[in-house]
Amino acid sequence: MRFADGPSVHCDVHVAAAVPRVWELVTDIGLPARLSPELQRVAWLDGADGPSAGACFEGYNHHRQLGEWRTVSHVVELDEPHVFAWAVTDADGRYGEPTLDPANAMANWRYELDAEGGGSRLRQSVRIGPGRSGLTLALERWPDREEEFVAFRLQELRAGMEATLRGIKALAEGTA
């Protein structure tokens, strides 16, 4: 897979809890920081105190190879209780020109939620790019290793999503 193709990965899980309970968890932007290996902390910006179309939040991340950086995410889709999606931007210019334009996002994340079998089906997905990120820095340095680097990054993101979904499932089902 090539970066220009908009590489993506998704994971899903059945949760033995009603959609409203799962929705409450997936729209709590602080929860993934407790569950994810990369996202460290988040906070709503501009007086927002919860998800709404156009609302923004900042995230602080850590990666063993890239160090620490801040992002600003923009809620780009909110269809309660089924879709919560946001675009992650490089507001500080860590990987190139600073941008707050969701159309030039480093990544686009999405939760989808539907009733299923007395519980809920929760899907989390991410599409990388088209904006610059740590991955684009590596690709510029080693262009001949593009497919390897893209596959590795997708594998890292999948592992983080699986950890997050396991945590949401456990909290929703009361087993955490």
Paired with 57 in beta bridges are 44, 73
Measuring CA to CA, which residue among 3, 168, 159, 1 is closest to residue 84? 168
What CATH number is given for 3-173 in this structure? 3.30.530.20
Q: Distance (Å, rounded) from C-alpha 18 to C-alpha 36?
A: 23
Q: Distance (Å, rounded) from C-alpha 94 to C-alpha 73?
A: 15
Over residues 103-127, the mean pLDDT reads: 97
Q: Distance (Å, rounded) from C-alpha 31 to C-alpha 68?
A: 19
Domain residue extents for the chain:
3-173
Res. 67 pLDDT band, cuts 50 70 90: confident
pTM, rounded to two decimals: 0.95
The pLDDT mean for the chain works out to 95
The pLDDT tens digits of the residues spanning 5-55 come to 999 999 999 999 999 999 999 999 999 889 988 899 999 999 888 999 999
- On the question of pLDDT at 131 being above 90, the answer is yes
- On the question of pLDDT at 176 being above 80, the answer is no
The structure tokens listed for 168 are 């949401």
Res. 159 pLDDT band, cuts 50 70 90: very high
